[in-house]
Amino acid sequence: MLHLIKESKFKTVRLMVRFREEMSADTLGKRVLISNMLESTNAVYQTGKDFSRKLSEMYGASFTTGVAKKGKQHLLSLNMSIVNPKLVDFDTLGAAVDFLKIAIFQPDAANGQFNPEIFKREQRNLLHYLASMNDDRSYYASRQLANLFFEDENQALPSVGTSELIAKENPKAVFEYYQKMLTDNAIDIFVLGDVDEKRMIERFSDFNFTDRAVSKEISYQQSLTESSVVTDEKEVAQSILQFAYQMPIAYGDKNYLALQVMNGLLGGFAHSKLFTNVREKASLAYSISSTFDSFTGFLKIAAGIDVENYEEAKSLIFEQLEAIKSGDFTELEVEQTKTMLRNAYFVGQDSPSNTIELEYVKALIPDKFLPMSEFLNALESVSKADLISVAKSLNLQAEYFMKGFTVNQEKMEVSLEK
């Protein structure tokens, strides 16, 4: 489906072709490898130098690919940003559409497989990248928390895959899947900018994507489970404490704006209870915040702490949520939070990427999408009772504690035991 977002305030034109299907361990590694392959090579532009030269000819156009998750769905996107052709003496828009067509329909493949040499290079690069990500203790902790929280193992997977999924793939299997992806995936094409709609329809109709039956179901919700607690000991100076809560509120639901305000009040901003009371006043955390995903019913509290402060920090974190449940917050705190959310919303209106994402959500769940006036009115009308209700609806499902130690500490403890 082609989505044209007519907007004259941006000097550039953004184009995005997005392929979507349900998250699955069977295809995730393939999709991530395809994303990397399409960004680095194709049958026409086979090297980075070829890519750079062509994009330079298009007045410095950019071309990127990427993967992401949204609820149950895995997204693989091809993105281009170009100067509006009205500002230069060159058809940058037509050239960009042609470039996208080559990237999609003329991959670097022969004899039923992707170029083996390039494939192995991209596979190796991805494995190095994932290894470095797992060395990031915050990322590792978040992965462990997701594994504890989600009943669906596919839902617990990160959008970039895992080393195991990437390592098992080969050029032939991935190319065979790519042919299937072109035929079966839901496809959305977005064009943002001051462009002619009729011309865009004509240019993209040349892509010959066939009709396909696709699901628009995006939100994931799971039932309550037994709360899980896991402690890992790692050689790190700073311990990491994370909690996962199940929330029965999805994007666009009645209490969706109340959820945003409640999260901002809890740990979303610098004036929040977690930041002010746990980090600033009690000095029990180096960092602390709360975030949520309204497409999966998942709210996370994450803190970096000293290992000896575990019990005290945990207790004080729980106290902050209990305070909101009991209505222990001021009108000023609520207004500060609403102001921050309102400002963030307006900043997002000036972001081409954010504008496209909002249009994407609108296309998937139009009945839940809030136009600007409705969003601002709904935000303003969030009451104290709404915030208390949302806080009470949260259910703790998982706790992950990365208990840090240093090698010297470990040696000292062993020595004392002797």
Instruction: Look at residue 40 and tell me if it is in a domain.
Output: yes
pLDDT for the residue numbered 236: 87
pLDDT for the residue numbered 201: 86
Question: Do 395 and 365 contact (CB within 8 A), yes or no?
Answer: no
Residue span of the structural domain in which 330 resides: 226-406
Handedness of CA 102, 103, 105, 108 (dihedral sign): positive
CA distances from 408 to 91, 109, 237, 387, 402 (A): 64, 53, 11, 46, 18
Instruction: Look at residue 193 and tell me if it is in a domain.
Output: yes
390 and 322 inside one domain: yes
Residue 407 — very low, low, confident or very high, per pLDDT cuts 50/70/90? low
Beta-carbon contacts of residue 362 (< 8 Å; ≥ 6 apart): 369
190 and 278 inside one domain: no
More confident residue, 227 or 406: 227
184 and 35 inside one domain: yes
Residues 162-215 pLDDT 10s: 999 999 999 999 999 999 999 999 999 999 988 888 888 888 888 888 877 777
Instruction: Look at residue 9 and tell me if it is in a domain.
Output: yes
- Number of domains observed in the structure of the chain: 2
Residue 411 — very low, low, confident or very high, per pLDDT cuts 50/70/90? very low
232 and 170 inside one domain: no
36 and 119 inside one domain: yes
Residues 297-348 pLDDT 10s: 999 999 999 999 999 999 999 999 999 999 999 999 999 999 999 999 999 8
- Lateral strand order in the sheet of 2-6: 2-6, 186-193, 12-22, 73-83, 62-70
Instruction: Look at residue 95 and tell me if it is in a domain.
Output: yes
* Helix, coil or strand: residue 210: coil
Question: Do 113 and 175 contact (CB within 8 A), yes or no?
Answer: yes
Instruction: Look at residue 106 and tell me if it is in a domain.
Output: yes
> How far is 289 from 291, CA to CA, in rounded Å?
7
Please check the confidence at residue 100 and state whether its pLDDT lies above 50.
yes
Question: Do 226 and 38 contact (CB within 8 A), yes or no?
Answer: no
Instruction: Look at residue 219 and tell me if it is in a domain.
Output: no
197 and 237 inside one domain: no
pLDDT for the residue numbered 132: 94
Please check the confidence at residue 417 and state whether its pLDDT lies above 60.
no
The CATH number assigned to the domain holding 350 equals 3.30.830.10
Instruction: Look at residue 234 and tell me if it is in a domain.
Output: yes
166 and 60 inside one domain: yes
Instruction: Name beta bridge partners: 20.
Output: 75, 186
Place of tokens 């109709």: 205
> How far is 239 from 303, CA to CA, in rounded Å?
8
262 and 198 inside one domain: no
Residues 257-267 pLDDT 10s: 999 999 999 99
> How far is 124 from 130, CA to CA, in rounded Å?
10
251 and 400 inside one domain: yes
Residues 352-389 pLDDT 10s: 889 899 888 888 888 888 888 999 999 999 999 999 99
186 and 289 inside one domain: no
pTM across the whole model: 0.90
> How far is 23 from 60, CA to CA, in rounded Å?
34
Question: Do 352 and 10 contact (CB within 8 A), yes or no?
Answer: yes
Question: Do 67 and 76 contact (CB within 8 A), yes or no?
Answer: yes
